Amino acid sequence: MSTTNDQTKYKLCYFVPPSSLQATKTAIFATNLAGVFSSLTDADKVLYTNVCWETSGTGQFIPGPDSTPDIGTRGELEVLEEVRVEMQVLGSENVKKVVQVLKKAHPYEVPVYEVYKMEDF
């Protein structure tokens, strides 16, 4: 549920190894700020929670000399299965809070995520 009157829609998209998928979703959904869909006629009436989309794919990276990788070895190409997770967040302050929760729950030193402002038609 939104903690502000800002109803601007954002899409949060992040990439995570399957072994950490549930932990990141649990942390994010515990905020009650993401993946919440309300009635079109009554914003206070919550119809769905914990809504997200997941797709599996392959990611890759080379950990740099100053990195402390959770997965992989410095200087060596790491190719691994990852899950792309997408969810809606209402309000700019809320999406900032959700991103902070994601960063704490995610196993990567530098989590890969994207935030998109969505249009409402």
Q: Which domains does the chain have, with CATH numbers?
A: 9-117 (3.30.70.120)
Q: State how far the Cα of 35 lies from the Cα of 13, in Å rounded to an integer.
A: 12
Pick from 38-47, 73-82, 86-95: least confident? 38-47
Residue 3 has pLDDT above 70, yes or no: no
Look at residue 12 and tell me whether its pLDDT is greater than 90: yes
The answer to whether the predicted template modeling score (pTM) of the entire model surpasses 0.85 is yes
Q: Check pLDDT > 60 for residue 64.
A: yes
Picking from 52, 59, 57, 43, the residue whose alpha carbon sits closest to that of residue 2 is: 43
Contact 48, 37 (CB under 8 A): yes
> First and final CA of the chain: distance in angstroms?
21
Position 1 pLDDT exceeds 60: no
Residue that has been written with the tokens 């990276």 in this structure = 61
Mean pLDDT along residues 60-75:
95
Measure the CA–CA gap between 116 and 121, rounded to whole angstroms.
16
Q: What local confidence, expressed as pLDDT, does residue 39 receive?
A: 87
pLDDT above 80 (res 4): no
